[in-house]
Chains A and B, each alone.
Chain A
Amino acid sequence: MKDARELHREPAVRQSGPVELRMPADPDLVSAVRLTASGIASAGKCTIAEIEDVKLAVSEVLLTMIEHGSGQGLSVSLELMDSKFTVCGSTETGTFDHDHPDLALSETVLAEVCAEHSIDVAGSELHIRAVIELRRSDEC
């Protein structure tokens, strides 16, 4: 049996999710998903700066799906895994313009707050993935 000091040395486990949501492409619901992501990040002891990054990433992923999707439902996944917070989204899309100036602005923001991000179209599906790098859990 471990004594109290050994238990104290064990790094905190930071894992939550994936939380998966299906929602209509409704701009009024974006803040609710931001709040959910913020709650997951907060429960995972993310810093305020990290939570702000998560909120921005969620907003940009949803914004892109709403503005460049076909208006059908959105699927969103939020997952905190040790040193990464991953936001994934997918929806139906019609003709997707990779060079749209609004998309470039969104990608500029994603590139700043995320360690990696991707926007891909496979068939008629738009897939977006954004990964925010967090402090390691044993640095908490």
Chain B
Amino acid sequence: MTDQRGGPLSVDVDMTGAFVVHGDIDIAGGPTLERYVGRSQDGLPIVLDLHDVEFIDSSGLRTLLAAARRARQHDTHVRLRNVGAAVRRMLEITGTAQQFEIEE
């Protein structure tokens, strides 16, 4: 299943239920990702595979932080998989890495 509405970002859901994000998580792509995260099942971790994300700005980070807040409200968390340099740097700059479970 792929969704490209709202900009160049697209999202696949893999066999494990992880959201595989392709493209830039920015002001254009964030809303697409938000729609997917909003459909996730309550109580289950939200897993985001970011291997194909080469750019994220602060609006994209806000999308991830909103997902983390939503997950906490349901006693679960957001797990970030295959975190690349751009996302890692954004988390470091803003001191928000602890909001997520990061797979190493």
Residues of A within 8 A of B (CB): 27-28, 30-31, 34, 52, 55-56, 59-60, 62-63, 66-67, 102, 105-106, 108-109, 112
Contacting B27 at CB < 8 Å: which of A30, A52, A56, A109? A30
Contacting A105 at CB < 8 Å: which of B27, B28, B86, B94? B94
Contacting B55 at CB < 8 Å: which of A34, A66, A105? A34
Q: Would B90 and A109 count as touching, CB distance under 8 A? A: yes
Chain B, 9-56, CB within 8 A of any chain A CB: 24, 26-28, 55
- List the count of A-B residue pairs having beta carbons below 8 Å apart: 51
Q: Would A59 and B26 count as touching, CB distance under 8 A? A: yes
Q: Does B93 have its Cβ within 8 Å of any Cβ on chain A?
A: yes
Contacting B58 at CB < 8 Å: which of A27, A30, A52, A108? A108
Chain A residues whose C-beta falls within 8 Å of the C-beta of B86 in the assembled complex: 52
Q: Does B59 have its Cβ within 8 Å of any Cβ on chain A?
A: yes
Q: With both chains docked as a complex, state the minimum distance between the C-beta of A55 and any C-beta of chain B, in angstroms.
A: 6
The size class of the interface chain B forms with chain A is 10 to 19
In the assembled complex, 16 residue pairs joining A and B whose CB atoms fall closer than 8 Å, in A order, are: A28-B7, A31-B7, A34-B55, A52-B86, A52-B89, A56-B57, A59-B26, A63-B26, A63-B59, A66-B27, A67-B27, A102-B62, A105-B61, A109-B57, A109-B93, A112-B93
CA distance A109 to B7 in the complex (A): 23
Q: With both chains docked as a complex, state the minimum distance between the C-beta of B1 and any C-beta of chain A, in angstroms.
A: 22
Chain B residues whose C-beta falls within 8 Å of the C-beta of A34 in the assembled complex: 55
Chain B residues whose C-beta falls within 8 Å of the C-beta of A63 in the assembled complex: 26-27, 57-59
Chain B residues whose C-beta falls within 8 Å of the C-beta of A112 in the assembled complex: 93
Q: With both chains docked as a complex, state the minimum distance between the C-beta of A68 and any C-beta of chain B, in angstroms.
A: 12
Chain B, 46-104, CB within 8 A of any chain A CB: 55, 57-59, 61-62, 86, 89-90, 93-94
Q: Would A105 and B62 count as touching, CB distance under 8 A? A: yes
Q: With both chains docked as a complex, state the minimum distance between the C-beta of A100 and any C-beta of chain B, in angstroms.
A: 12
Chain A residues whose C-beta falls within 8 Å of the C-beta of B7 in the assembled complex: 27-28, 31
Minimum-distance CB pairs A-B, first 5: A59-B57, A27-B28, A27-B27, A105-B58, A112-B93
Chain B minimum-CB-distance residue to A105 = B58
Chain B residues whose C-beta falls within 8 Å of the C-beta of A59 in the assembled complex: 26-27, 55, 57
Chain A residues whose C-beta falls within 8 Å of the C-beta of B58 in the assembled complex: 60, 63, 102, 105-106, 108-109
